[in-house]
Structure formats: structure tokens, C-alpha cells
Structure 1
């Protein structure tokens, strides 16, 4: 309780808000002003009159919040909180791919500011298919290969070059584990993030971003879920 009161006092003194990603621990979400995915949080911050944004997430999320909110102070509580997938691609590699193929680069929001700067367009897991569909020519998709494979299920008329990056957490969710849980909970619906492997995507009842999962869980009549994400 002491820490909660201290946080509230500091927020008032600094005109600050606390943003927490869906993947944060419950106790962090409990003290946050807004909880959501990275882009939704950055956009939410844009709508407030706060001077200071405390972003509880990983490095690229805080960078994205700063890009969208250049006049606000963005504080990142733990500088060691890195996204392994974002670290699998760098700006130099993107430039070399563009020179090799001459294609537009579509980069997932889960990338550094440096990679975004040399990309042609950015996407989220929720709008990746629509973004790729909007690009008239061939595409270089970075950095998540699984998300790229998911996009290719719907976009079949374009040459899409995939960077071989991945989210270690979603790669670790195996088909065997899902089938085991499904056997234990036969009525449960499987909700999978598009960063999951194709095998997991194939058996999912719903493939969606974290925000999409929350929305679907509220709207569907199902009472039990197997959630294939963090």
C-alpha cells in the first residue's frame, strides 16, 4: 500500500501516467493507468495531457511511445528489458535487403527505432495482413518469420521475403503442449497470437493480437480458453 500511495503522489507531482503492456505482471497492471498492447498504449498516451509517460514494457515499446509523443518525457523503468526478436534485426541489414531486392520493407512494430527509420511502413500483429495488402510491389517483411508466414496465408499474389527472426516465447509454445491442454479441457477454445508457429496457428479457434484476444474472450460464448501467448 505504501508504494501505491507513493506512486499516486509522484504521478500528481509530475503530471505522469503509467502505461503497462498486457504481458506485465498483475501487480504492475494493477497500478497502471492504462493496460494494452504497445501501439494502443502509445496512442493512448497521445490522447492524454500528461507530461510524463512511464512505460512498463520492453525497449522498442518505449521508443515507439516517444516517436508518437515527441513532446512528452518517456521514462523506461528497466533498461535491461529487451525484446529478443527486436534484437534479431538491425538497420544495416534492412538497408542491404532493400538494395538486394528493391522491395519495400514492412517492419513489425516489434523493432527498434533505427529499423523503423529505414523501413517503408510499419505494422502491428492486428493489421499486418492489411498493411501488406496495401503495398503494390514485392515486400521484405521483418523481423518475425512466423507473423510473415501468417500474412502469406492471406496475401498470395505478392513476393514476400521473410527475415528469419522469431519470438522465443511464442516459438516455445508447442503443438504438443496445446493438444495436451485441449485433452484436459475439451471445451476450451484455443486463442493464438500470430507470432506462434504455423502448427499452433492451424489448430487455433481464434488468431489475434493480445488486444484482439481480450476482445474475443469478452464477446464469445465460450467459458474456457487456452491462451497461446505470454
Structure 2
């Protein structure tokens, strides 16, 4: 009995350890699983209900328009256009997605944010970007780089990162993600524009600010660039 109990414990520990190191979407169980919202027509399940493969078409795996420049006339000077499973149903269970980021000249910013479900690989198509990420507690180590056309940079899953256009022309980058739905948490928006508002005492103490400053920040309009 002791031997059997020991074996069960080892299996449980290994299973738990495996779950901790897993950082991507579950693998597909068939060639593809085109997402479908109408569950009455779904015949296979893998993350989302899936369309019958016999009814799938090339359009389920297609999206156009990513070559079109986006408007960056907003408070951040940037616009993020995400192509995830909501726009390309065929991405379901494939563990990847893509976004286009347009930056205004001289300071267009994709502000500090994180992706809770994906690592990110950023490719600069045009312009010059100052990019970086910060490691977790207790080090808070900052990794930064100035990227030019053709350069790439990796942001590990869950870590806070940013991109700033330090050039005098517009910049364009494409980011690939290790999830069909990476999610995004914009730090300032989440803390100062939560619904309902976080108690100002919490933020004042956390950021070592005056209560009035926190109240002021909570009254601002926090722009979403997605």
C-alpha cells in the first residue's frame, strides 16, 4: 500500500509541475476546429464549439486588410489591430494570433501592458521603436532595446512591456502571440479606470501618492488603443 501511495503522490506532483510550466493554449485534437457560436451546429468540442469539418471553407482561415494603415490621431498616438479567434474562426485551438500596431511619429506609444495568456514576438516593419519589458518580483529588471526596420523582440508571457516610437516618421510593427486569444491588461487603465473604482486609499499607498492625485487620475479619460 505504501508503494502504491508513493506512486500516486509522484504522479500527482508531476501532473502539477506539468501544469505550472504549460504556457500555451491546449493542443488541437484534430486537423482544425473552426470556432462557431451556434452550439446547435457544433459537433466537435476543443476549447470552443467547432463547425463540422465538412462544412468548413477557406474563408474560415482568411482575413484581409492588415496592409491598411490605421489612424493614430488619439491620446496615445497608436492603434492596435488584433486578429484573433474572434476574427479568424480557423485559429481556434491553434495557439496563435497576430496584431498590427501603428505608431504616430515622435512619441506614439503602446503603453505598459501585459498579455496574461501569451508570449509575444514583435517584428518592426517600418520606423524606430524603443521597446522593453520588466521582470517579476523581486528584481523588476528592465530589458530594453531600440528596434529598427526588420528587427524583432520577444516579450515573455505575462510580463509588463511597452513600445515607443522614437523616430520622426510613422512606425508599423506586427506582433505574433502564442495564444488564439492572448488578452491584454493595460496597467494604467486597469488601476485608474476600473469599474467600480478602486478605493483611492489603496492606490495612494501603493503608488505613494496623495489621495487628491489618485482622485484626479481616476477622473481622467483613459484611452484604449485597441
TM-score range, shorter chain: under 0.3
Where relative contact order (Cα < 8 A, 6+ residues apart) is larger, the structure is 2
Identify the structure with the greater helix proportion. 1
Kindly name which structure, 1 or 2, has the bigger radius of gyration based on alpha carbons: 2
Identify the structure with the greater strand proportion. 2
**When the two structures are superposed, what TM-score results if normalisation uses the length of structure 2?**
0.27
